Structure 1
Amino acid sequence: MIQIYPNTHIWPCNALRFHVVFDRTMDTDRALRHVRLERMRSDGNFESVTGALVDLADGLWSPDQTVMTTLFHPARVKTGLAANEQYGRTIEPGARYRIAIDPGLEDANGVPIGHVVEHDFTGSAAHNQGLAHLSTKQNAKAECVVRFDHPLDYLSACTHVRLVDRAGRTIPSVRRVEGSAIRLRPVQPSRVADVEIDPRLEDPCGNRLAGPFESATPAESAFPV
């Protein structure tokens, strides 16, 4: 299975990046050439948006080569820069888009994924507010569900939200990011003492618990919730 994050269908026009998560180790060589941002035309067909993505030959990958981070061109995201003034933001509020991945993208064994992967979304107004933690609850499946006021950046959520025991040690967990929530389930039966959230946790626009992207500064330590 291949998943694209944010997995919501509304993306702010100042989104900085998105993530593609694979269920196997991938071949990183020239991987980005298989990834496109497309915009719907007035006739209902899609066309590629040129200059939308940062042209990194191999992309940015997690150490295990299962998560590819793709960056929107920052010169078009940040206001006040020449590219933004001349061409506008890559994502425009109200316009319809999709991320498309070609079937020729190969895994580490040289096997193509074999099918087109797409994720449709609509652009929305810029989001420039810091993240807010709403709730933490444990459900009947022994999962801790941590909710925020708007969608999370996938890698940031997997890195900066963790389960800890009473000694503050990390409890190995399976994480699942679902829009503005992250679910954490211990790999082994365990009595969870706390969920710990690092203030550097970000949304796809770079806004943090510590504040908006333009002014956020990392705090000294994480805090339990």
Structure 2
Amino acid sequence: MILLLSAALLLLAGCEKPSSSPQVTESPLPEVLAVYPSADTLPENLLRMYVEFATPMKTTGNLSRIQLKDAQGQVLNGVLFDNVYELWDPDQRQLTLLFDPGRVKTGLQAHDALGRALTPGATYQLQVAGLEDIYHQSLTEPFIKSFVAGPPDTVAPNFEHWQIAAPHSQTQNPLRVTFPGTVDRMSLLHRLVVCDTALQPILGTVSVQQHETVWQFVPDSPWPSGTYTLNVNTRLEDPAGNNLNGLFDHPTGSLRYAQEGETVSIPFTVGTVEAGKW
């Protein structure tokens, strides 16, 4: 009788007992997934790095929480370019860090006064700590990318030195391009397009491997036989900012192409598999 009365009172009060407890969805904690370039040795004239996060991050006030330290743990000031607006991708999961271009490029006031930030043979640590995501959650622990500074990269990328391995027809094997050195990751993801025999882009998936020295493209559908083109925007860069048009630190009049952003088309053939070689 008491139990029935209690249930009736709950109904009258508008407090009907829920069938189950409400579920609370928690957002994942932020973390750094990777820092690019991913190699352990980076050029003295390094221009750009990328920090990739697991969750969307706040897009202001972060540069003060990112430090470059030398082998003794001393913070190196004036290294990263303090832009008015931080350079985030549209998803707010990747932050671009620019080494001060005025120190990288010779002949400028900052370079003449301070020199480049990195010294060949020296060891450095890029430390990312305390950044918050859009849910006001902080990184649970610092992320450290250690690397050694190598000699300056003074050779511009040249597609004539690339190794292109074409797939066989009627397969979804990858088109594979191997580079003689590290290429800027964002360039690899956005500045190469595979076109079919009608010069239309082919849908597929791009992957970047082996410290950004290998690019692979897997089509959504099997390759038909024929001649294809790999279209490359000449803005494709290496980590020092050198692109297909010339060096970042180039003398006046030394660029290869009249305009930045021109397209270079590299043909390749997809053929059938010879008997006995499948």
Same fold (TM over 0.5): yes
Is residue 98 of structure 1 aligned with residue 125 of structure 2?
Answer: yes
Query: Which of residues 57, 75, 83 in structure 1 aligns to 2:102?
Result: 75
Determine the C-alpha separation between the residues in 1 that align with 2:77 and 2:188. 30
1:130 and 1:13 mapped to 2: Cα distance?
Answer: 15
Match for 2:212: what amino acid?
A: G
Q: How does 1:97-116 map to 2 (within 5 A)?
A: 97-102=124-129, 104-116=130-142
Task: Structure 1 unaligned segments of length 5 or more: list them.
Answer: none
Unpaired segments ≥5 residues, structure 2: 1-31, 268-278
Q: Closer, same or farther in 2 for the Cα pair 1:73/1:195, shift >3 Å?
A: same
Structure number having the greater strand percentage: 1
Higher relative contact order, chain-length normalized (CA < 8 Å, sep 6+): 1
Provide the C-alpha distance between the structure 2 equivalents of 1:77 and 1:211, rounded to a whole number of angstroms: 15
Match of 2:215 among 148, 159, 182: 182
Task: Tell me how far apart the structure 2 counterparts of residues 190 and 98 of structure 1 sit (CA, whole Å).
Answer: 44
Give the distance between the partners of 2:93 and 2:222, measured in 1 at CA: 27
Distance in 1 (CA, whole Å) between partners of 2:122 and 2:172 is: 39
Deviates more, 1:201-210 or 1:157-166: 157-166
Opposite residue 184 of structure 1, the aligned amino acid is F
Instruction: Work out which of the residue numbers 266, 271, 274 in structure 2 matches 1:224.
Output: 266
Aligned alpha-carbon RMSD (Å): 2.4
Partner residue, 1:195: 230
Matched AA of 1:176: V
* 2:201 alignment counterpart: 169
Which of the pair has more CA radius of gyration? 2
Name the amino acid aligned to 1:149: P
Question: What is residue 20 of structure 1 aligned with on the other side?
Answer: 51
Distance in 1 between residues matched to 2:217 and 2:83, nearest whole Å: 32
Contact 2:44/2:116, CA 8 A, preserved across alignment:
yes
Bigger mean CA deviation after superposition, 140-149 or 77-86: 140-149
What is the deviation of 1:221?
2.3
* Partner SS state of residue 70, structure 2: strand
Give the TM-score taking structure 1 as reference length.
0.85
SS of 2:111's partner is helix
Q: How many correspondences in the alignment? A: 219
SS state of the match for residue 50, structure 1?
A: coil
Measured against aligned partners, the alpha-carbon deviations of 1:88-120 in whole angstroms (never above 9, x if no partner) come to: 210111111121100x21222222231211111
Aligned match of 1:9: 40
User: TM-score w.r.t. structure 2 length?
Assistant: 0.70
